[in-house]
Structure 1
Amino acid sequence: MDAPQVHDRTVDGLRGPVPIREYLPAVPDPAAPPLLWIHGGAFVSGGLDQPESHAVALGVAATGRRVRTVDYALVPRFRVWGPPQLRPSDNRYPAPLDDVLTAATDLMAEQPRIVVGGASAGACLAASAALRLRDRSAQVPAGLILAYATLHAELPPLPDSVRARVRGRHRIGTFTPQVIRRMNLNYVGSQQLLEDPEVFPGGGKLAGLPPVLLLDAAHDTLSASSTAFAGELAEAGVDADHRIVARTRHGFLNRPGSRGFRAGMDDLLGWLDRRMRHS
């Protein structure tokens, strides 16, 4: 199969040009909506060359689907230990979300039916973008993909199912509630915004969202957020498929060639084939 064409360009955003990367399949599938894919990195790192962005996009585009990735604004790195420090930055919320919305609305102007997805912090931005599109334009995406997502301002308590998967050695290197709180405070820049129910998708008003794929790592405390969000989606009447990729840790889509990457991509592509095709 021929490799997709890859082009870098920019779209005009609220704060200037937003870099994007287009993946145009050699043999497009006219029944498959484009995917807007958003990398993770705790809101502080990552970019278009990151495997979680580039490798995932290449894999999806190889199946005939157009993909667009976004180099959204990044906030300064934060301290994991010691007194919290918020370094001055114009890139905090809502700048990253605005960049994602710019890329989404520009793509929807060409092809109104798109799927929006992301990993980790990028999944938070994907879900937030879907909610903003629902509320501001009444034009929701056709589907939403959230991989090992952080969706709540505070990490929810670990349910028994997650606690059982992060016992012993599987707990090493996982996220604590304190780290997630610092990461999210660093993203929004103030305690007031951290407590604003409109900022993070978890705990928000979710009715009207499209079908959702929640793709989780087995040994990842962030699965508590996806698990809670799956329950919130069910209460809101939103169709959600929550899948756990066995024997994986957080960030498995950032490790091309690994068993976890292949299994995660199989789940992602299978869901797109089943749920996101024109009849």
Structure 2
Amino acid sequence: MAPVQITDIVVPGPAAGREPGVPNRLGSAAVPVRVYSPEAEPWAELVWAHGGSFVRGTLDWPEADWVARSFAAAGVRVHSVDYVLASDTVHAPAPGNDVAAVLAAVAAQSDLPVVIGGASAGGHLAVLAALAQADRAAAGDGRAAAALILEYPTLHRVQRADPAIAAATAELPAQRRFDADRIAAMYADYLGAADPADVASADLADLAGTEAVVAGELPVDRLTLLPPTVIVNADADDLRASGEEFAEQLAIAGVRAVEYTQSGTVHGYLNRPDESAQARVDAADTIARFVAELRVILTANAPGPAEPAQP
């Protein structure tokens, strides 16, 4: 890979100067961020959230570190977010609020196009952060994200039935499967309530633009606020159904969305790029696909030449 400069910084979080309470549904007072800067001048900023079922993951995971290095090698400056993890004392929307705070800070500080993205549960948080930033932009506070990139995201509490996906995942070991019980437990840990409406009714009125809900259950009029989106799913992955369904939801909402499946992969393959030669090829292909699609999106959104002054 091309040389990359790595810097650890801290961004003021949504709980700065405030009392999050218990359980913490607000977020962190300060959010650790690892910045990966390319050797040459970057052409975009990427705020990236690793996966880990909302409850685990670190900036040292390949899904954070290797991914960030790969994007930086392609000329993108990456801000890898160490968001607060869900636990017995932390629940939604705290993790997403941390990601949203970093996105807002990057958008305010840089003149480059700003992209938000994430893997698995991090993809879920990226969607919510993109919506929070869209709300800020609509209120005249900053600018919206230029694009959204999602890697094998989980976006629904209930996966729609798909016989082809079921057949592809039937022989996988249990640790590679996301059956209905595992998905339900994951969202219970994240939401901290049996019904997301219980969370949404909490005292969160001053957190405009952040939803303590499930991204794939948002109404169409909310999804219309999302930027052009690129989704890459794993092949033999129960959660592929979620990524595919979300792409269809975005199309209905009128959002430009492209969706691919990385052939021969299982969930979490970006967290195992050194597992084999083929794993490295698959991971590199995925990054290259995201980079190519981002260039298309950002070129299409680039302002044209200024109109000549009228005499």
TM-score if structure 2 supplies the norm length?
0.79
What secondary structure sits across from 1:157 in the alignment?
A: coil
Letter in 2 for 1:265: I
SS in 2 for 1:191: coil
- 1:251 matched residue in structure 2: 268
AA in 1 matched with 2:119? A
Deviations 1:242-264 (A, max 9, x none): 00000000001111232321222
Partner of residue 41 from structure 2, selected from 28, 44, 58: 28
For 1:24 and 1:194, the matched residues in 2 are separated by 40
Mapped pair 1:222 → 2:239: yes
Q: Which runs of 5+ in 1 are unaligned?
A: 77-86
Distance 1:109 1:224, change over 3 A: same
Judge which range, 34-43 or 106-115, deviates more: 106-115
CA contact (8 A) 1:184 1:194 kept: no
If you compute each CA radius of gyration, which structure gives the higher value, 1 or 2?
2
Deviation at 1:171, TM superposition (A): 7.2
Identity value in percent = 37
RMSD, matched Cα: 2.0
Unaligned runs of 5+ in 2: 16-28, 201-210, 304-311
| Amino acid in structure 1 at the alignment position of 2:59 | L
- Report Cα offsets for 1:175-215 as digits up to 9, x if no partner: 01111111111111111326778511103121131111111
1:270 lines up with 2:287 in the alignment: no
Kindly state the Cα deviation for residue 269 of structure 1 after the two structures are TM-superposed: 1.9
Q: 1:171 to 1:237 in 2, by over 3 A?
A: farther
Match of 1:7 in 2: 7
Name the SS for the 2:12 alignment partner: strand
One-letter identity of the residue aligned with 1:110:
Q
Q: Structure 1 residues 109, 75: closer, same or farther in 2, change over 3 A?
A: same
- Give the Cα–Cα distance (whole angstroms) in 2 for the partners of residues 232 and 161 of structure 1: 20
Q: Deviations along 1:124-149, whole A, 9 cap, x unmatched?
A: 00011111222343232100011110
Structure 1 match to 2:20: none
Structure 1 residues 93 and 120: alpha-carbon distance in aligned structure 2, compared to 1, 3 A threshold: same
Asked if 1:234 is matched to 2:237, the reply is: no
Instruction: Tell whether the 8 Å contact from 2:121 to 2:154 is kept in structure 1 after alignment.
Output: yes
1:201 maps to 2:205: no
Instruction: Check if 1:175 corresponds to 2:189.
Output: no
The one-letter amino acid paired with 1:208 is L
Equivalent residue, structure 1, for 2:135: 135
2:193 matched to which residue of 1? Answer: 190
**Cα pair 1:38 1:53 within 8 Å, conserved:** yes
Q: State the one-letter code of the partner of 2:132.
A: R
1:99-120 CA deviation, whole Å, 9 max, x = no partner? 1011111100112530000000
Secondary structure in structure 2 of the residue aligned to 1:245: strand
2:100/2:128 contact within 8 Å kept: no
1:161 CA drift (Å):
4.4
1:144 and 2:178 matched: no
Which range moved further: 39-48 or 132-141? 132-141
